Amino acid sequence: QPRPYVIDQMISAKSIAARIEALATQIRDHFHGTDKLVVVGLLRGSFVFIADLVRELDLPVEVDFLEASSYGDATHSSREVRILKDLRGEIAGRDVLVVEDIVDTGHTLTHVLHLLQSRNPARMEVCVLLDKPTRREVEVSATWTGFTIPDEFVVGYGIDFAQRNRNLPYIGKVRFTDTP
Ligand code: PRP
Ligand code: MN
Ligand code: MG
């Protein structure tokens, strides 16, 4: 039986949309003139963010996905990142934008960046929606960050709690109701 909880809104859908517009402008300026950009989303958490971000991005892009999982259904990082699904395309010589929903301990992003770097992209940058720097175990940082947040259990906008709540249009925080 899962612990009972409620979800309190932390970042509204409107704030997320406004922030994505600003991020897209910076990303477009950075990659201005490119004709070889691949936007790589890390499944599953980034599927909502990447969908909104690429639609604000005024650049010719390809979209590809890679599935990396460290949490599974657990609430604690296993620190062992597994690649469950690799990219469809080659990225050697391409411009790559890695899109991730959240950086917590940093294990997932570190693992993925090492893997992708070994394939010799021309340029590789990272855009994450949320950063929880106080939880970092390995040093890694994104080129662009949507919001820096405190150590709360967040869900929604792609992010799950035991695979649920990914479909919330906003970012919420989980509050357990079985303890005062
Ligand atoms: C979550 C989240 C990030 C990662 C961040 O993914 O989407 O990818 O954990 O944690 P870390 O910085 O401590 O590695 P998860 O493994 O839960 O898979 P999911 O995206 O399919 O939910
Ligand atoms: Mn993830
Ligand atoms: Mg998860």
How far is residue 14 from each of residues 11, 43, 89, 167, measured CA to CA in Å? Answer: 8, 23, 33, 16
pTM surpassing 0.90? yes
Residue 81 has pLDDT above 80, yes or no: yes
Q: What is the pLDDT of residues 131-158, one digit of tens each?
A: 999 999 999 999 999 999 999 999 999 9
CA–CA distance, 67 with 41 (Å, rounded to integer)? 8
* Nearest atom in ligand 1 to 67's CA: 21
Backbone dihedral region of 162: left (phi > 0), alpha (psi from -120 to 50 degrees) or beta?
Answer: left
Q: How confident is the model at residue 73 (pLDDT cuts 50, 70, 90)?
A: low
CA of 64 to the centre of ligand 1 (A): 18
CATH architecture of the domain 34-154 equals 3-Layer(aba) Sandwich (3.40)
User: Is ipTM over 0.95?
Assistant: yes
The answer to whether residues 44 and 158 touch, using CB atoms and an 8 Å cutoff, is yes
Active site residue 64: no
- Calculate the CA dihedral of residues 117, 119, 125, 129 and round it to 10 degrees: -90
Please report, as a single letter, which amino acid is at residue 115: L
Q: Give residues (CB < 6 A) around ligand 1.
A: 42-45, 69-71, 77, 100-109, 160
Q: Which pLDDT does position 156 carry in this prediction?
A: 98
Q: Which pLDDT does position 159 carry in this prediction?
A: 98
Closest by alpha carbon to 175, among 151, 145, 152, 146?
A: 152
